[in-house]
Amino acid sequence: MEKIILVSNTSWYLFNFRLSIIKLLQRAGYEVVCIANEDEYSERLVKEGATFIACKLANKGKNPFKDWAFYVFLKQQYQQIKPVFIFHYTVKPNIYGSLAAKAAKVPSIAIVSGAGYAFLKEGLLNKLVKALYTRAAKCSRELWFVNEEDQALFVGNNIVDEYQTKVLPGEGIDTARFLRDAPYNVDKSCFTFLLSARMLWDKGVGVYVEAARKVKQLYPQSRFQLLGFIDSANPSAISSMQMEAWQSEGVIEYLGVTDNVKQYLMKATCFVLPSYYREGVPRALLEAASLEIPIITTDNVGCKEVVDHQVNGLICKLKSVDDLADKMIRMLDADASVLTEMGRQGRIKVEQEFHERLVLAYYESAIAQYLMGNEKN
């Protein structure tokens, strides 16, 4: 069987966000090889029929020797495996994987699912990442983005020519999987806000907690929950000590990490993501909208694409505790019929604009163009 490789920073990412791609490629008759850091999801990829190869990638590290070792490792794997095509995900695989693929004479595409931390502010890291991406872009057949602002950022900074890019309809989501199995219910005596994301300051977790303090003074019965991984390696990570302090104060409930986010979403009255991180299109927003939950999010790249203000949710200002608290109070004061209609409109929007079949079509097109068309490297 001809092989196609998918490369990411974690097995968790490939299993949770790219399993539908793996299945698509398998149905098309390809053996799928996944290269990523090993974690508890690596074996799950194998159980889904993929071949797994562990790498040693320092996701947030800035050691050039380790990055060079990652490039050499990928080049060797590509030369040994001899795949017909490679898809790269996340920053370092996008950069070093694209360079390695070119060196190994294998065509590849890099998927930029959010510009990320390095593009939040100007500085040495920002300049370095731009320079590396510019070189890597010349080694990829195409760069795919999940929102138009990231595409404009890369094109505007002369990282890539516009003709070499495509904009996907977000990450894509299986709306059949995220389908309510019980009616949406508004219980004003136990109104529950939920934020599901990596526990990072850039995701607006601190803003959420501060807003919760304000709202609880007026609506003491309201609940504020946090769900997600505490990523201690990330420079924007919230510490376990800080999380424990918030819980002890009684302002939030930390739910930890789960493989079944749906069970918590089904109990939420309103989903909140006050992110000011440079997002792609947050999967968490798509999951909430698909489950007909009203949303509050920021006027931020990637976030505002999912929410139409006052239609399926509310948009708040970036980093504004007062504005977020105001939007929460508006949700608390809204009639149940208004909240229910917001949720219904969210589901419609996701089905029409962000269904995974729309994303899969781009992969099918790439296969037809670069493989079935036998285009040479």
Average pLDDT for the chain: 93
* pLDDT at residue 203 in the model: 95
Task: Give the tokens for residue 137.
Answer: 């872009």
- Range with the poorest average pLDDT among 104-118, 131-145, 211-225, 283-297: 104-118
Domain 188-353 has CATH 3.40.50.2000: yes
- Every domain of the chain with CATH number 3.40.50.2000 lies at 3-172+355-372, 188-353
* pLDDT at residue 120 in the model: 61
Q: What is the DSSP string of 153-198?
A: HHHHTTSS-GGGEEE-SSS-B-TTTS--SS-----GGG-EEEEES-
| 10 beta partners | 37
- Residue pair 269/291 in contact by the 8 Å Cβ criterion: no
Tens of pLDDT along 175-185?
A: 999 999 999 99
Beta strands in 25-179 (DSSP E): 31-37, 51-55, 85-89, 108-112, 142-145, 165-167
Tens of pLDDT along 130-143?
A: 899 999 999 999 99
- CA 80 from centre of chain: 31
Local confidence band at 128 (pLDDT 50, 70, 90 cut-offs) = confident
Does position 81 have pLDDT exceeding 50, yes or no?
A: yes
CA separation for the pair 275, 136 (Å, rounded): 28
- Interhelix angle for 321-333 vs 205-218, to 10°? 50
Burial environment of residue 364 by CB neighbours within 10 A (0 to 12, 13 to 18, 19 or more): middle
Instruction: Return the SS3 of 276.
Output: coil
* pLDDT at residue 377 in the model: 44
* pLDDT at residue 226 in the model: 98
CA separation for the pair 257, 204 (Å, rounded): 18
May I ask the CATH architecture of the domain 3-172+355-372?
3-Layer(aba) Sandwich (3.40)
- The pTM score is 0.89
DSSP state of 312: T
CA separation for the pair 111, 370 (Å, rounded): 16
Does position 71 have pLDDT exceeding 50, yes or no?
A: yes
Does position 374 have pLDDT exceeding 70, yes or no?
A: no
Tens of pLDDT along 4-49?
A: 999 999 999 999 899 999 999 999 999 999 999 999 999 999 999 9
* pLDDT at residue 70 in the model: 96
CA separation for the pair 63, 71 (Å, rounded): 13
* pLDDT at residue 376 in the model: 45
- Residue pair 165/155 in contact by the 8 Å Cβ criterion: yes
Local confidence band at 117 (pLDDT 50, 70, 90 cut-offs) = low
Give me the count of residues in the chain: 377
Q: Look at residues 308, 311, 234 and name the one whose alpha carbon lies nearest to residue 277.
A: 234
- Interhelix angle for 19-27 vs 356-367, to 10°? 40
Half-sphere exposure of 121 (CA within 13 A, CB side): 3
* pLDDT at residue 235 in the model: 76
Tens of pLDDT along 143-155?
A: 999 999 999 999 9
Task: Give the tokens for residue 337.
Answer: 């019929």
Local confidence band at 64 (pLDDT 50, 70, 90 cut-offs) = confident
